[in-house]
Structure 1
């Protein structure tokens, strides 16, 4: 049975949960303060005053300035525990899959007491295999006159000739001495445009055969509403509840014209994509009870639903006389249910944890495609694996021990044992069972309080994307990906050595080398002459990562700071079509921003780097800065096609911000000043890539989109 939950039903439950939160908090009685004491371990502590020169508005602004640290939102892995990032809030991991960067934007800077930078050797908190963590300490006694933050802004995106906006409002309510309720509303609006120019050639001699011009006009409007309740009903208990509702209203218009080498019209395509329903709802909660003598139990639950209805209509005029109308209706319903229980015991030298987790995931997809010639009947188009429901039931038990051998040496060992069953119904019927044993070990040696060396070895199992079990078609690029019910998760043995050094308050460096032995590499495969996501055998990944920060006093800039994050890696796997060694080709990673600054997201790319420069101007109550981001090209290997993506220019962002106009922070920015655009070469081979004979090529220059457009704008942030 397909789950088709109306928005009104989701909204009703959201309102009921919010009322429940208010009721719980109102009934709370006085309890001890929720602000944890300063850590007794060798953590590096940054008091709130440390971040004052950066004029922070939210906790995200503060975490973004912790020397030598990069916030990670967590990996897309199986289970709740494996997806956790490197963020703690008051010593606890958030019981939600909301991005860590988004969670921090909802915490006013005025509520942050301090930020502790923790290493993997700290057994006093849940480091769970991380080499570095930040623990954001939020005060329950935040002043009411400074508990509301807001951000409003506007920006003009190149090619669009339209103004987009962003608005965010966050407020923290102290409902009782032992309970707070934080609410957040965000409404981003992205009114972009893309310009695509393509040159078509024939054969290895690259004889021109025509050209295409494509204009894309996307409109993305979203509203994210969230609430988080933190409640201490007694000295031994704590409760956290979170709710997020995020509807979006998106559409896309496309116009594409193709002409011959003499500019004679060949084809005209008009496309419209509408998302009639597009929303996600997530509710998470946890309850922790401290038993005394260093022992505690914790229960965590997470429930999420998503729903997307997509309608595509394309009118295609092929000159001189053919006219075809193509439609695509796709309906997708998905959800996740997780229950996790864990027991912790802190002894003199050991931090033990045991527990179990159960989960149920599903994705239900229907896809209907039609063709209609002018004046003719509507003809349904059959596509294999177009209707599919995929369900996964999974159970896991786990145990770990962090052993503080002595003040300098800490060892961690853990074991997760997982069993799961995946069932697919619809056009394809399939049921499979999996068992995974996932051990991990790590050791941290602290040379001194400012320098440490960490080694880790773990068995990692990737999360399956249920969207790849069903087929998808792209009319504009004439590309079809067939669903693969035999897709298996990628597995890997991952080894990593990391050296961390804190030289001074604002000067730090981390160097890491890593090597992965990957099994069942996730890539593109050939199924009956069609491309599909699948597994292509075993491969390797080796590399080095460097990140650091330093003040620039030595070169005459006493208030300036430089931050660097870079990665170089090499991936190798045997190509199933040609039999030759090559790099991993997918997934396609999206570059993004966190706390207003670009972040490193290399994925499987050979290299990437991010450089951030900031110079404070105290006499003007202002600051300015520059960010430079660049990453390597990537390849996508299909049965008879090779996609090569490249970007010749780096992305260059510039900002100026000031607090001279009290009581707000004004930020003016210009992003992608160099106009970095993506270039794609699509090579078609005769028969398959194994032939090596080029049939034709398409050379595309994509101006616009998230990474190819200049953007000029401003933001005003403040609190009241």
Structure 2
């Protein structure tokens, strides 16, 4: 390791992580003290904030569709020259993150690659095979990366169990056996080519991905009147992406970065249900595209680092939805909608290195957009926001760092919330809401990071004052009153987060590492239906996970156990309160490396074998004004499952 906590960049060489026997860059990044991997949100329109907090060779992956975890898994540990932990003021586009990890790969001339095969088997009869491979060729400044995968993902929070209904006093209203196994069949191909160009470096990348979601639903009602019902859900999603990235130095102190990106997503879905009471069908189809142009200029002048840029984006969505009951079309509000958004964002950031221990970063973003909606409802809307940000970083000692952050953040409107949708399994209709506004908040955050040998502990306290909270509201139409996503006024949120990475070598337990995180969250907003104060919908009150790993270098073996604390998510709809409980979960693995090229891994997941429970309290009308119709309790369990992975690297 080079540099201390007060420097903008701390470098970790491969020897720092060697005792943990990492297989991929993902394993290495998870061991960086004080760092927590945060995926970007590919659903965000535009590039800012969508790329996550990891760089590869000093650049964010251009693709928005490819997750950071997948990118890092494809990089063999043996090809990593070092990991750089980057703080503000180091000349990188932080995009709102206080820390970045930069994975620096070896660029010696070579041909290298990886092939991986995985198989998992589930108790309910489904399996999840996977075959993936990567190829990398480096020749001078020319780098070609190719990868592809074909696999099946099974949703282990769905499976088989029961779905029963009870009166408010607990009397059974309907009892039945229920099954809803779900999964995705996926094929994807990715590629990128990097080359020297006009004194800089250019990279072109492309992606094609086809995902076919399936769910097979079966229900056997045994009380009060026996009958059988069934259903299917099928959703095909086809995604394409092509990007261009260019950067070069301008003089001794400046650098420019240019980016262009084009994404398309086509979705076609059909849900069917068959029951003695009748047959229902819902259909949805949409075509979405996103085009982004972005330019950034960075400059270092003494102890000041400057960054400025501009980004423009064009987003288009054509969406259609339909509901059919016994062959009769049922009208839905805002079922056929076209939305077009033109966005622009200008940003500027300055970081002052006042001393080796103190850095102040200040900046602001200005965002403006114009939304146009046509089809079943018409809308023209212009939005603009200023988003200032102030970050102070102080390292009173080589082992400690204190970070204080104050900023304004503005959410993005989800185009899907403008369009109506229907769920046959839930028996619900969600109306589109053209009057939706983005939420905005002022965030205050204080974090303390403490280094303990090769480990670290980070404690963060956060307060958010939110305007125009996005939650659920009633929408009144000629056809009736519908639940919809909408704004419900002001709210607040407090969070306390605890992250730790603790190697136990100093205690005489060589190779043993304990890692984990915990988040306590408390939020409050006024319910638009009842007028009472409550939690913001879908805010989890507690999130926590812990992993224990043991690396036994002399046996070329690594094993571990992971624990995830139970989660409870509550959604407050206008005529229903839905609570999803995911129980405590334990997973385990053992990994063996007979030599540097081969990795054999066996895993067992969901060892707690606890059902995922959804409880729905449904009212006869608006909550607070109407009595409960019934309480529905659905329990689904996929059971424990086991699998293995075989990986072979070559070249390099």
1:364-379 equivalences under 5 Å are 364-372=318-326, 378-379=327-328
- 73-82 vs 610-619, which deviates more? 73-82
**Larger strand proportion of the pair:** 2
* Cα displacement string for residues 679-710 of structure 1 (whole angstroms, at most 9, x for unaligned residues): 12211224321136323111221223xxxx42
Counterpart position of 1:628: 563
Asked if structure 1 preserves the Cα contact closer than 8 Å seen for 2:417 and 2:433, the reply is yes
Give 2:218's aligned residue. 255
Is the CA contact (8 Å cut-off) linking 1:358 and 1:396 kept in structure 2?
Answer: yes
TM-score, normalization: structure 2? 0.94
Given candidates 517, 526, 529, the residue that maps to 2:465 is 517
Of 689-698 and 147-156, more deviation after overlay is shown by 689-698
Q: Is the 8 A contact 1:650 1:674 kept in 2?
A: yes
Cα pair distance change 1:547/1:662, threshold 3 Å: closer
Query: Is the 1:550–1:563 Cα contact (8 Å) retained in structure 2?
Result: yes
Matches of 1:476 and 1:124 in 2, distance apart? 51
Match of 1:240?
203
Out of 136, 158, 164, the residue aligned to residue 199 of structure 1 is: 164
Determine which of 119, 130, 136 is the counterpart of 1:166.
Answer: 130
Q: Are 1:672 and 2:606 matched, yes or no?
A: yes
Deviations, residues 81-110 of structure 1 (Å, cap 9, x unaligned): 232311112222222313221221232322
Q: Deviations over 1:552-609 (max 9, x none)?
A: 24554222010121111101101111111100113xxxxxxxxxxxxxxxxx211111
Residue number in structure 1 paired with 2:442: 493
SS in 2 for 1:398: strand
SS of 2:362's partner is strand
Alpha-carbon separation, structure 2, partners of 1:383 and 1:206: 34
Cα offset, 1:443, TM superposition = 0.8
| Distance across 1 between alignment mates of 2:40 and 2:322 | 35
Give deviations 1:323-375, integer Å, cap 9, x for gaps.
x2222221111111110112111111111112211111121111233233xxx
Q: What does residue 274 of structure 1 align with?
A: 234
Structure 1 residues 661 and 713, CA, compared in 2 at 3 Å: closer, same or farther?
farther
Q: Which residue of 2 aligns with 1:354?
A: 308
**What aligned pairs does 1:611-650 form with structure 2 within 5 A after superposition?**
611-647=546-582, 649-650=583-584
The answer to whether the 8 A contact 2:286-2:319 is kept is yes
The equivalent position to 2:590 in structure 1, one of 644, 650, 656, is: 656
Measured against aligned partners, the alpha-carbon deviations of 1:456-507 in whole angstroms (never above 9, x if no partner) come to 11111112211111011111221111111111111111111111122212x1
Instruction: Find the residue that maps to 2:160 and give its secondary structure.
Output: strand
* Alignment-derived partner of residue 220 in structure 1: 184
Aligned equivalents of 2:393, 2:9: Cα separation in 1? 14
8 Å contact from structure 2 (residues 354, 360) kept in 1: yes
Out of 292, 296, 301, which is 1:338 matched to? Answer: 292
Q: More helix by proportion, 1 or 2?
A: 1
Aligned twin of 1:448: 397
CA distance in 2, matches of 1:680, 1:369: 24
Scaled by the length of structure 1, the TM-score of the pair is 0.85
Distance in 1 of aligned mates of 2:27 and 2:421: 39
Counterpart CA distance in 2 for 1:661 and 1:358 is 49
Q: Matched residue pairs, number?
A: 640
Q: CA deviation at 1:542?
A: 0.7
Paired residues of 1:92 and 1:126 also in contact (CA < 8 A): no
Instruction: Please give the alpha-carbon distance, in whole angstroms, between the structure 1 residues aligned to 2:147 and 2:401.
Output: 38
Q: Among 493, 501, 515, which residue is 1:563 paired with?
A: 515
Give the alignment's Cα RMSD to 1 decimal.
Answer: 2.1
Match of 2:499 in 1: 547
Mapping of 1:346-495 within 5 angstroms? 346-372=300-326, 378-495=327-444
Partners of 1:400 and 1:212 lie apart in 2 by 59
Which has the higher mean CA deviation after the structures are superposed, 127-136 or 176-185? Answer: 127-136
* Per-residue CA distance 1:258-304 (angstroms, 9 max, x = gap): 2324xx31x432212334x4210111221112111311222111110
